[in-house]
Amino acid sequence: MKPKLGSLLLGLMIVMLGSAWMFAQEANNDTKSKSNTRTITGCLSTEHGSSNSKEFLLTGSDGSTWEVRSDSVSLAEHVGHTVSATGVVKNTTAHNMKEDAKDAAADAHMKKGNTEHGHMTITDVQMVSRSCEK
C-alpha cells in the first residue's frame, strides 16, 4: 500500500511542477507575433540608399523596423505618414528563428537591443496620421 501512495504522490508532484513550468513559459512570452501575417502601426519612410522606388522602411511604434514593399497598394503616397500596414512576413520560419535567437541573447544579457526587424509584403495600408511622431 505504501509504494502505491508514494507513486501517486510522485506522479502528482510531477504533474504540478509540469503545469507550473508551462504557465511560467506562457507568462514569459514576449509581444512579438509568430504569425505570417502582421499588422504594424508606425512611420513609413523611404529606405536609406534604396534606388528602388518600391522599397520602404516601416518603423513600428514598438521600435520594430520592417523593410516593406507592395505590388498591390501604393506606399509612396504615405511616406512621412503614420500608417497601419498589414502584410505577409517574408520567410516566416527563418524570421521567427532569428527573432527567437535575439530573444535568447537578450535574456542572457548578451545583447541590449531586442527590437524586431524583418521584411514584409504589404497587402493593405491605412493612414493613421499625416505626420510621424518623433
Rounded to whole angstroms, how far apart are CA atoms 109 and 85?
Answer: 32
CA 8 to chain centre: 42
42 bridge partner residues? 60, 83
The predicted model scores a pTM of: 0.64
Instruction: Count the domains in the chain.
Output: 1
Evaluate if residue 61 carries a pLDDT over 70. Answer: yes
Does some domain include residue 17?
Answer: no
Question: The C-alpha cell of 120 is what?
Answer: 514584409
- Of 45, 4, 34, the C-alpha closest to 131 is 45
pLDDT in tens, 11-49: 777 877 776 666 655 444 444 566 778 898 999 998 765
Structural domain contains residue 103: yes
Print the domain residue range for 120.
37-129
In the chain, pLDDT over 70 holds for what percent of residues?
63
Q: What is the pLDDT of residues 75-93, one digit of tens each?
A: 999 999 999 999 988 876 6
Give domain status of residue 1, yes or no.
Answer: no
In a domain, 43, yes or no: yes
Q: Is residue 87 part of a domain?
A: yes
CATH number at residue 120: 2.40.50
Convert the pLDDT of each residue in 1-12 to its tens digit.
566 777 888 777
Of the candidates 75, 53, 57, the one whose C-alpha atom is nearest the C-alpha of residue 65 is 57
Asked if residue 6 belongs to a domain, the reply is no
Nearest C-alpha neighbor of 69 from the set 121, 119, 118: 121
